[in-house]
Amino acid sequence: MKKRLLLIAVAFSVSFVLMGILSLFSIQRLNMYINYSDLMDHSGFVMEKIYDAEKGIRDIDRSERGYMITKDTMYIRFLNNSVDSLRHSIAALRNLTKDNAELQKNITSLNAAVALRVNAARENIHYTDTAAESSPSHFYYDSRQLMLNCSNILHTIHQSESELKATRYKEEYFYEQLTTSSIRWLLIIFCIVTLFLFIILIKELRGRMHFQDELQAKVIDLRRSHSELQEIAYVASHDLQEPLRKIQVFSNMLLYVRSAKNENNYQENLERINNAAMRMQSLIKDLMSLTSLTKIDEARTNIDLNRTLQFIVMDMEQKIREKDAMVEIKLLPPVNGYEQQLKILFNQILDNSLKFSRNGIKTIITVSHDVINGHELESINPNLLNKKFNRITISDNGIGFDQQFITKMFGIFQQLHQQEAGFEGKGIGLALCLRIMANHEGYITAQGEPDMGAKFKLYFPVEN
């Protein structure tokens, strides 16, 4: 048990360490994925400002040409707004790319080119307002060239940011996949470790429950043994003392009778002493038979009860014929037990049914079998409720007994019927049966009614 507890502790420790490592790794991968996701969003903002700058340059060009054609002052206002918007976009672009030295250089170049482009546009507008001829001035051609320079610089910035964005996208995708894979493996390993620990705990719990059941059965068996010891002590102090007292009384009488030369009384007292000694010897023999069952030298084997009962019935054939009895044995299961003890068990019960038969009525003894749960034994041991038992029932139509004497029936040298009623026996048979069933981790109960017969039920645990 200590090894299993150590195994569980080691498994828990390894699982916690493993879960910790995998969790830290997954958190790191997740942080990297979030970081590259933020960089992708940042690249998106940069691209947006690049598009705004390109739009601003195009708006300046449209405002310049529109004023040259129409001389509408609306284009002047549009030009000023476009210049302000362009400068705002470039400032935002510079702020977003301040950690990129190469882009900062390109933005500085763009800012200078935009300033030249705006100056050229203003000079061209001034020329359009003052010149007498309608042909474009060299300012217009300069502004066209400056616009191309701005576009080229923006194209360079756009291409550089696009390459950076593509790199970041690959990194984001890589860490996205890695994070997903890490979390997946984390869950798989967690489930495997949890299942492994759950199985170990279930096995340990079942083992402890089985151990608890065995312990409970041992406690009940110990109580049985203790009860038997108390009965044996009572027998030793009471039943065995009774023949001794008779021997002492008649021995003293012999001394008196011998002195009186009364040979008839002398012979009678000798016979009484001999009968008392024989009775005491018989009681001691029966008591030894009971106590010998506590020490088991026989190995347990699978016993065919059908075959065992056939031999018992054959041995009891003469007595069965004398009682004009019929013994019906239905199909019985094999039982893992001690063959000699089982022979004693069934012999005692069948002999009991024959002994206590009713006069004038054909004795019918039936031996049957079924499989039940331990609900009938709940009063003996509540832990037996969900266990399965082979229940073997031996029923007869004899004189029966009053159910209030059920506990007395299985006591040592306890008799419900006096010998004067014509029934033989010393009251040891059912006590032997009780001990034999205890040796088989089983139970025996009895039911009866006066003049209605009796039923003895043997409960053998079903082997798993």
Q: Are residues 280 and 190 in the same domain?
A: no
Looking at the fold, whether 378 and 423 belong to one and the same domain comes out as: yes
Residue 209 lies in a domain: no
Output the pLDDT for position 395.
93
pLDDT, position 366: 93
Domains in the chain: how many in total?
3
374 lies in the same domain as 393: yes
| Residue given tokens 């003052």 in the structure block | 130
Residue 113 shares a structural domain with residue 167: yes
Domain encompassing residue 277:
238-292
Burial of 370 (0-12, 13-18, 19+ CB in 10 A): exposed
DSSP annotation string for 448-463: EETTTEEEEEEEEEPP
pLDDT at 137: 67
Same domain, 127 and 182: yes
What is the identity of the amino acid at 187?
A: L
CATH code (residue 145): 1.20.120.1730
Do 260 and 181 lie in one domain? The reply is: no
- Tokens representing 343 are 């022979």
DSSP secondary structure of 57-110: HHHHHHHHHHHHHH--THHHHHHHHHHHHHHHHHHHHHHHTTT-HHHHHHHHHH
Indicate whether 230 belongs to any domain. no
Q: What pLDDT does 341 receive?
A: 86
64 and 6 together in one domain? yes
Would residue 445 count as lying in a domain?
yes
Residue 393's pLDDT is 94
Regarding whether 396 and 287 lie in a shared domain, the answer is no
The answer to the question of residue 221 being in a domain is no
pLDDT for the residue 332: 92
Establish if 27 belongs to a structural domain. yes
Whether residues 283 and 330 share a domain: the answer is no
Residues of the chain with pLDDT under 70: 1-5, 7-8, 11-12, 131-138, 213-214, 217-244, 246-297, 411-427, 464
pLDDT value for 361: 85
pLDDT score for 307: 92
User: CA 76, CA 65: separation in Å to the nearest integer?
Assistant: 11
